Amino acid sequence: MTTSGVNKRQPADRRVRRTQATLHNALIELVGEQDLPQITVADVTERADINRSTFYAHYRDVHELAEAACTAMIDDLIASLPNAGSLSGDLEQGITEAMRQFFARLAEHANLYRSLLGPQGSARIVDYIRRRVTAGTHASTRPTKSGTSVDAPENNHDVLAAFTAGALLGAAIDWLQHDRPRTPAEMAALVCPLLLAIYNSQPIPT
């Protein structure tokens, strides 16, 4: 019996994912100890116990590895947050908790986010986060008066979601660059009224 091409690829795909995850974790550990620009490929491969040729089979340099690790964490972060359309009960309480989780997750890897979102960081990562947060705060997720959500057309140009994402990303970057002077809970308490003001300024679909 022949083996399908899909089955042949699966073990290799798993090995790729495992290797990349090992490199991501090694970099995250190192960023907790020193600034990202100081970290070399040799540092990463030694920490990951992987040879240099394996590293270069996946990434060109440490900066590309950092971008990959950051986008993976952002995907996990956004996926873990409830959206307004799924919130039940008190909307303000739900948004506050979502924002607390958002800032708490940023704080877990603050050094990496700070490096990639700072003045000398990655424009690609800034744009990626902006687009992911825009999708996560899309106006179609706002609750209707009946408590359900309204679907927007695919590729809809949603100014409200884009504005909200830009404001939230700006607040997060400023918080990180100032070395997190407030706790995630304090940031959530400050941000929530601003988000509610944006939502409440728009007509809610019936």
pLDDT above 90 coverage of the chain, percent: 54
Q: How many CB atoms lie within 10 A of CB 3?
A: 7
CA distance 108 to 111: 9
Burial of 190 (0-12, 13-18, 19+ CB in 10 A): middle
Distance of CA 8 to the CA centre of its chain: 32
Please state whether the predicted TM-score (pTM) of the whole model is above 0.85: no
Residues 178 and 147: their CA atoms lie apart, in Å, by 38
1-59 matches 73-206 in fold: no
CB atoms within 10 A of CB 51: 10
User: CATH says 1-59 is which class?
Assistant: mainly alpha
Residue 143 backbone phi and psi in degrees, to 5: -70, 145
Residue written as tokens 């706790």? 183
List the domain boundaries for the chain. Answer: 1-59, 73-206
Asked whether the predicted pLDDT for residue 144 surpasses 60, the reply is no
pLDDT-derived band at 3, boundaries 50, 70, 90: very low
More confident residue, 27 or 3: 27
pLDDT in tens, 124-142: 999 999 888 888 766 434 4
**Domain 73-206 top-level CATH class:** mainly alpha
